[in-house]
Amino acid sequence: MKTTYREAIRAAMREALERDERVFLMGEDVGRYGGCFAVSKGLLDEFGPDRIRDTPLSESAFVGAGIGASLGGMRPIVEIMTVNFSLLALDQIMNNAATLLHMSGGQCSVPLVIRMTTGGGRQLAAQHSHSLEGWYAHIPGIRIITPATLDDARGMLWTALEDPDPVLMFEHGGLYNAEGELADDAGPVDIDRAAIRRAGADVSIVTYGGTLRTCLAAAEVLAADGVDAEVIDLRTLRPLDSTAILDSVVRTHRAVIVDEGWRSGSLSAEISARIMEEAFYDLDAPVQRVCSAEVPMPYAKQLEEAALPQVADVVAAVRATTGGG
């Protein structure tokens, strides 16, 4: 069937609500308004206010309530409008959700899923457009998932709800309107392993989320010049599937990492370090990185485009590492 990324996530939430009475959705405007990005539109009418709960405008409060509900045996899905606003709940996420299992000596699991929109490209300026998932990937005790395809948008949520630990699901805002075919029987998917979205022999392009489309488009441009690029979709940022990354680099001998986060202290830096530590002698060229400009995200369209990784940037990085200009 033909669907959109937004509709695939809505279908995943609907299925979870139908399958498990412990599941409920909570967040700002998820009910009557249908969600800031219309992902939960219609669910209030289907499941009622006990299971689709509009909350006050306090990320710390409703994330904390979600943690408490999960400790009490429920399976909450907490929606935070954008990743920038999640910083208001960082204390709850890092000091409570991520640590309770450890600090209770294994007695208290926190089976909580927190969904949030990430990424730029929509002219929503600096308070709504950053990619901070790499920050959260720094924290032990949580899992970070980044669905980039319709199949993953449809299937990652249920797998995440079965995880005994907190899972943060980052949905790139630029993908919500993305259309494609989704199997009628699409269901839960693996959230442990990266996926090769395009096989290739000359260079490994490592990416995730909203920049997957950028990298696939760059691979097509490179193919016209005779460069065969492999594109790896990380899918999960913590724990990273290092094996998939390293296996690809051992085959291609070159790596370009594309990360919409800022370059300094980024997820791309961590991946680059792992490649250098474990596959240094397999490299034929230094690892290249393509990241967002280290500025608050501009509002003006042309400035925002200049700040974000573009197809031409990825192509240039690959050509640099393959010696093609």
Residue 105 makes CB contacts below 8 A (sequence gap 6+) with none
- Between helix 5-19 and helix 150-161 the angle, nearest 10°, is 30
- Cα distance between residue 199 and residue 207, in whole Å: 14
- Cα distance between residue 282 and residue 322, in whole Å: 14
Residue with tokens 């006050």: 56
Residue with tokens 């429920």: 74
59 is catalytic: yes
Q: Return the SS3 of 160.
A: helix
Q: How far is CA 177 from CA 37, 68, 172, 174, 215, in A?
A: 10, 33, 10, 7, 19
Catalytic residue among 59, 79, 260, 270: 59
Token couple for 12: 């995943």
Catalytic residue among 7, 28, 79, 128: 128
- Cα distance between residue 91 and residue 61, in whole Å: 11
130 is catalytic: no
Token couple for 308: 């974000």
- Cα distance between residue 268 and residue 255, in whole Å: 11
Give bridge partners of residue 255 from the DSSP assignment.
204
Q: Which helix (H) or strand (E) holds 175?
A: none
Residue 39 makes CB contacts below 8 A (sequence gap 6+) with 6, 9, 10, 13, 79, 115, 171, 176
Residue with tokens 């139908």: 18
Edge to edge, the sheet with strand 229-233 lists: 195-198, 229-233, 203-207, 255-262, 288-292
Catalytic site positions: 59, 128
